[in-house]
Amino acid sequence: MTTEQIRKAERIVVDIIERNVPVYTMNCKLEEAKKIIGLRISADAYYPDPVRVVSIGEPINALIQNPLNEASLRTSVDFCGGT
């Protein structure tokens, strides 16, 4: 990352923290969770079934029920192998 990209990322994170955006976690069926359009996963990683999903700002239940919800493109939705 360039210095400017790092600064931009820091501004985004600080904004999320200052707005006290909720963080959601939920264990989900792997195949259901993979359907969320904004999901970020590591292509070569192994994920168990069920898989833990972490979402910033969007409830995971809503994303599972409507996996094409574009709200998942505006936030962070990731599989979590452990915190």
Q: Does an H or E element contain 23, and which? A: strand 23-28
- Tens-place pLDDT, residues 38-71: 998 888 888 999 999 999 999 999 999 999 989 8
For residue 21, give both structure tokens: 């955006």
Total domains present in the chain: 1
Instruction: Give dist(CA 3, CA 36) in Å, integer.
Output: 31
User: Sorting pLDDT into bands at 50, 70 and 90, what band is 82?
Assistant: low
Higher pLDDT, 69 or 29: 29
- Cβ atoms within 10 Å of 19's Cβ, excluding its own: 9
pTM over 0.85: no
| 69 inside domain | yes
Instruction: Give dist(CA 52, CA 9) in Å, integer.
Output: 24
Q: Residue 75 pLDDT > 90, yes or no?
A: no
Q: Residue 74 pLDDT > 90, yes or no?
A: no
| 16 inside domain | no
Question: Which of the 8 DSSP states describes residue 73?
Answer: G
| 3 inside domain | no
Range of the domain at 76: 21-80
| 57 inside domain | yes
